């Protein structure tokens, strides 16, 4: 048995050795284990196990049954993980549901533990090798390895991602996914398998039970227990690159390839075969061979000898369950329609994946996925009926010379003529479209000319409405042109904040483009993005996310990772996720989206461009949401500097983004610079866009906040009232911007003595946010805290403490224990106790608030000074004036710098210091 203390070093050396070519490993081991021969022996055994023909998972079941189970005690622990219950067991060991609960984070996981009795065998070393395999796999559709270690008796264990999901076939049937939706889901599975193959791993046990789909619709590939590392170079006589020998078999017969059944060499083509079986089931609701699962040996014989039925024929296979009607119903259709859908390309694609000869199948999971993409886009597929191809080859061989000459001449002429005709048709279509578009624009803008309209001037909104009616009426027979103009008019309406008018136009444009260009076209991706923006404006964030993810998938497939359109879609999705709430919980995905967009933009626009600036500013807003003010400010400055070089001086985007920088200055406590910047932006936006434009309204909202935080509530209250009125007229009562306006207005009404109005606005804001986002919205904690503060002012302390408790739970749940907002809640709780003269209860809350702010805020941040004053008041109440003095002196300096020495708040520390000095003089 290996000493557990050797584990970490052994695993590190083994991992590093695997990364080196085999010829260099001995020299590497000479260097790292010069003084530790035991370490070298164990690493060499691991390397040998990694290249061995069989693993402990391939040990015959009879031998495995002789091993002791030796279960771990439920409720016990492995490192930081507490075992909750056993959820499975197999030949190699048991799997437990476990939970990590410590000061770092909480997480439910699955822990796989090696059986006792294997710890001193080859199985022990294979377990380590399997762990190294899993450690290589970082893919969103593959269950992740989090950690590893050993039990007290030296048995290794793996800590794996716990997947809350159901098998892929069950998920598809339960949600009645259509054929196209099933293919889109299957393509994600192919991507995960391809990723494993690129990491030189063959799964060897692909089946629905090893592919779980989460409630969010994401497939997760599980159980690489019998996965095999591919040899990077020929491994001896008969070996070829990319092959692994079959060894003793441990497989699921219904999904095994012919070469697995025969114990022949295994390649990535074996996984392609298994994918073919899964695809067959997802489409036709049946397996390729009409044999009951309790007849495994008959299945193996058929797999090697019999050709599978076409999926379209298997659907109507007589005397089998479920009946065709039930299968079709689970796909949202009828048997005849489902059979027509499967006939042709889908039949051929599935059968190509299931060919007996591995060399005749798709060469990779990626190629299988690409053929499905071509099918979805109504393009020719690589799979063709093998009988026709075979007859064609025979005919060509018999008449090779004559056919070659004739075909060359005919092909040349046909190609030339077809090319000319196609170009002529395309040019004619483009000319007609251009003529109509020009005519449409001329006629539309003539309506703004009073000489053409008998003195009547039409507004931009009226022109757009009349244009939309003309497009719907005049272009019914030209759906491609109709879709393009509807999309453009919808976007124009959206720019005028008329999302109610924009939405039906954008939805109609999307439907037409799906019909004309196909569901996987770039035109459809563009419409999806525009519709997502419209839905987001209407606070229908979940629907917007679905559209954006679909658009991103199309763009990735069609444009790869070198197109600015992909980068812009990535940024749009990142902003939407941040807008939905819980930015700390979503931060890793948001970060990844913006970083990928930035990388693409820098490759295309180097050294800098508009999309580079957009990505930097989006990352800056994420940093600001996370409380990382200094990092956010640096990113903002970099992005704004690029924009100043890229855009014209009067571009509205410059002032929209500068106003966002003003919000960052507010969060950093730089209130007077923020106010000056926001006033400048607002004046320019009103001049360029009008007083009611959403960008101008948002800047006015931010300006009101900067004024409010300086204590000038009589100035900020009318601004907030105007913001609320404008937003209600634009968006209606159920909108997140309206919720924020209610909240901001309440914070002004309260200090002006209008408490009942303030409470009403707070509760309206809470109701809107709970309706749209739910309890995961981080702003809910902030609203609860404001209510706690209001009731403290009213000396309703029980209610104040109750709201403070709710606020703490909400902030920690959505932001995390170390977010700056936690300090606000702690400080308010301490102030509630202090105001009741319960100073001993108040002190720990106020100290924790101050400690947190000292860690995350600048030395002269006003919130830090406020915490210092609150704690000083508490210490004075406890009779500890000496401890209060340095806190008050620091706060006095900060307030004077931020608010000016004459501000009311700046006088507070000095008055308290004077009171202390007077008491000391009397003693």
Residues recognised as catalytic: 205
The secondary element (H helix, E strand) that includes residue 110 is strand 106-114
Output b/e per residue, 395-408; b: 16+ Cβ within 10 A: eeeeeeeeeeeeee
Both structure tokens of 723: 């913001």
**Among 609, 644, 616, 612, which Cα is nearest to 631's?**
616
What's the Rg (C-alpha) of the chain? 34
Residue 229 pairs in a beta bridge with 201
State the helix-helix crossing angle for 779-793 and 797-815, rounded to 10 degrees: 160
**Among 845, 900, 837, 893, which Cα is nearest to 865's?**
893
Residue 787 CA to residue 764 CA, distance in Å, equals 12
Ordered strands of the 166-167 beta sheet:
166-167, 211-213, 219-221
**Among 726, 676, 680, which Cα is nearest to 701's?**
726
Residue 680 CA to residue 668 CA, distance in Å, equals 19
Determine how β-strand 228-229 pairs with β-strand 201-202.
Answer: antiparallel
Half-sphere exposure of 216 (CA within 13 A, CB side): 10
Q: Tokens 């309204």 appear where? A: 697
Sign of CA dihedral 466, 471, 472, 475: positive
Residue 608 CA to residue 638 CA, distance in Å, equals 10
Residue 921 CA to residue 78 CA, distance in Å, equals 62
Q: Is 148 helix (H, G, I), strand (E, B) or coil?
A: strand
Give residues with Cβ within 8 angstroms of 426, minimum separation 6: none
Residue 97 pairs in a beta bridge with 85, 110
CB 789, CB 828: distance < 8 Å: yes
Residue 377 CA to residue 159 CA, distance in Å, equals 41
**Among 740, 741, 835, 746, which Cα is nearest to 790's?**
746
Both structure tokens of 565: 């359109």
Whole-angstrom CA distances from 91 to 56, 120, 128 are 9, 16, 16
Residue 655 CA to residue 666 CA, distance in Å, equals 17
CB 595, CB 619: distance < 8 Å: yes
Residue 88 pairs in a beta bridge with 95
CB 877, CB 898: distance < 8 Å: no
What is 167-220 written as a DSSP string?
A: EHHHHHHHTT--HHHHHHHHHHHHHHHHHHHHTTEE-----GGGEEE-TTS-EE
CB 594, CB 613: distance < 8 Å: no
Sign of CA dihedral 298, 301, 303, 308: negative
Residue 207 CA to residue 251 CA, distance in Å, equals 10
Residue 203 CA to residue 190 CA, distance in Å, equals 12
Long-range residue pairs from 321-326, CB within 8 A, at least 24 positions apart, any chain: 322/285, 326/285
CB atoms under 10 Å from CB of 560, counted, come to 10
Residue 550 CA to residue 558 CA, distance in Å, equals 12
Both structure tokens of 329: 């119903």
């Amino acid at each position: 048995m290996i000493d557990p203390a050797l584990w970490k070093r052994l695993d590190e050396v083994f991992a590093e050795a695997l990364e080196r070519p085999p010829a260099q490993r001995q020299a590497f081991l000479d260097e790292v284990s010069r003084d530790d021969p035991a370490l070298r022996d164990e690493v060499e055994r691991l390397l040998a196990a990694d290249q061995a023909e069989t693993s402990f998972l391939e040990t015959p079941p009879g031998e495995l049954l002789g091993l002791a189970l030796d279960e771990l005690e439920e409720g016990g622990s492995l490192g930081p993980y507490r075992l909750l219950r056993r959820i499975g067991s197999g030949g190699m060991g048991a799997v437990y549901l476990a939970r990590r609960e410590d000061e770092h984070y909480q997480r439910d996981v699955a822990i796989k533990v090696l059986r006792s009795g294997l710890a001193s065998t080859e199985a022990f070393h294979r377990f380590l090798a399997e762990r190294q395999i899993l450690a290589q796999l970082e893919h969103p559709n593959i269950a992740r390895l989090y950690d590893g270690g050993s039990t007290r008796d030296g048995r290794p264990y793996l800590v794996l991602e716990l997947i809350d999901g159901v098998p892929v076939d069950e998920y598809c049937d339960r949600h009645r996914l259509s054929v196209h939706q099933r293919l889109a889901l299957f393509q994600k599975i192919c991507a995960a398998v391809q990723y494993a193959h690129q990491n030189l791993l063959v799964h060897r046990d692909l089946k629905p039970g090893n592919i779980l789909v989460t409630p969010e619709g994401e497939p997760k590939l599980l159980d690489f227990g019998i996965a095999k590392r591919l040899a990077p170079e020929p491994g001896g006589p008969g070996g070829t690159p990319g092959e692994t020998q079959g060894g003793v078999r441990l497989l699921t017969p219904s999904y095994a390839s012919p070469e697995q059944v025969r114990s022949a060499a295994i390649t990535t083509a074996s996984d392609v075969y298994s994918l073919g079986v899964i695809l067959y089931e997802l489409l036709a609701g049946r397996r390729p061979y009409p044999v009951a699962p309790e007849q495994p040996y008959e299945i193996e014989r058929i797999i090697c000898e019999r050709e599978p039925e076409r999926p379209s024929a298997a659907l109507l296979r007589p005397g089998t369950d479920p009946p065709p009607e039930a299968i079709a119903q689970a796909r949202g259709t009828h048997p005849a329609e489902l059979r027509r859908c499967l006939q042709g390309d889908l039949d051929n694609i599935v059968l190509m994946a299931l060919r007996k000869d591995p060399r005749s199948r798709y060469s990779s999971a990626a190629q299988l996925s690409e053929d499905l993409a071509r099918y979805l886009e109504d393009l020719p597929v690589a799979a063709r009926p093998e009988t026709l191809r075979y007859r064609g080859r025979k005919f060509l061989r018999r008449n090779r010379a004559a056919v070659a000459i004739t075909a060359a001449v005919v092909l040349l002429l046909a190609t030339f003529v077809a090319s000319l005709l196609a170009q002529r048709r395309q040019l004619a279509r483009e000319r007609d479209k251009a003529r109509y578009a020009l005519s449409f624009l001329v006629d539309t803008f003539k309506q703004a000319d009073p000489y053409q309209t008998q003195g009547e001037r039409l507004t931009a909104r009226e022109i757009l409405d009349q244009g939309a009616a003309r497009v719907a009426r005049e272009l019914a027979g030209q759906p491609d042109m109709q879709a393009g103009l509807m999309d453009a008019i919808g976007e124009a309406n959206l720019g005028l904040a008329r999302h109610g008018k924009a939405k039906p136009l954008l939805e109609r444009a999307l439907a037409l483009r799906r019909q004309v260009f196909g569901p996987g076209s770039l035109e459809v991706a563009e419409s999806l993005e525009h519709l997502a923006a419209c839905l987001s404006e209407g606070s229908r964030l979940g629907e917007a996310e679905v559209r954006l993810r679909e658009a991103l998938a199309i763009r990735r497939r069609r444009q790869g990772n070198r197109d600015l359109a992909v980068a812009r879609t990535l940024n749009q999705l990142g902003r939407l996720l941040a807008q939905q709430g819980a930015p700390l919980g979503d931060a890793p995905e948001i970060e990844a989206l913006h970083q990928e967009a930035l990388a693409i933009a820098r490759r295309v626009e180097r050294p800098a461009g508009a999309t580079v600036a957009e990505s930097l500013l989006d990352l800056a807003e994420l940093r600001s949401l996370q409380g990382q003010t200094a990092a956010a400010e640096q990113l903002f400055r970099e992005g704004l500097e690029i924009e100043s070089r890229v855009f014209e001086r009067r571009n509205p985007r410059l002032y929209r983004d500068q106003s966002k920088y003003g919000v960052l200055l507010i969060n950093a406590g730089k209130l007077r610079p923020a106010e000056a910047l926001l006033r400048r932006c607002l004046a320019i936006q009103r001049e360029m866009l009008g007083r009611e434009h959403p960008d101008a309204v948002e800047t006015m909202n931010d300006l009101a906040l900067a004024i409010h935080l300086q204590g000038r509530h009589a100035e900020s209250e009318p601004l907030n009232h105007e913001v609320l009125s404008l937003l209600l007229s634009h968006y209606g009562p159920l909108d997140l911007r309206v919720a924020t306006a209610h909240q901001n207005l309440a914070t002004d009404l309260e200090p002006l003595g209008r408490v009942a109005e303030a409470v009403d606005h707070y509760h309206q804001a809470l109701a809107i946010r709970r309706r749209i986002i739910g309890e995961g919205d981080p702003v809910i904690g902030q609203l609860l805290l404001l209510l706690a503060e209001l009731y403290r002012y009213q000396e309703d302390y029980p209610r104040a403490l109750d709201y403070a408790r709710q606020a703490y739970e909400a902030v920690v749940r959505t932001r995390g224990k170390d977010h700056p907002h936690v300090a606000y809640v702690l400080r308010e709780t301490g102030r509630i106790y202090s105001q009741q003269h319960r100073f001993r209860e108040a002190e720990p809350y106020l100290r924790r608030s101050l400690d947190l702010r000292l860690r995350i805020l600048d030395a002269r941040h006003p919130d830090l000074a406020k915490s210092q004053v609150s704690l000083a008041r508490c210490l004075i109440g406890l009779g500890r004036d000496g401890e209060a003095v340095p806190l008050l002196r620091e706060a006095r300096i900060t307030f004077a710098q931020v608010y000016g020495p004459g501000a009311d708040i700046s006088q507070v520390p000095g008055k308290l210091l004077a009171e202390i000095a007077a008491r000391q003089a009397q003693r």
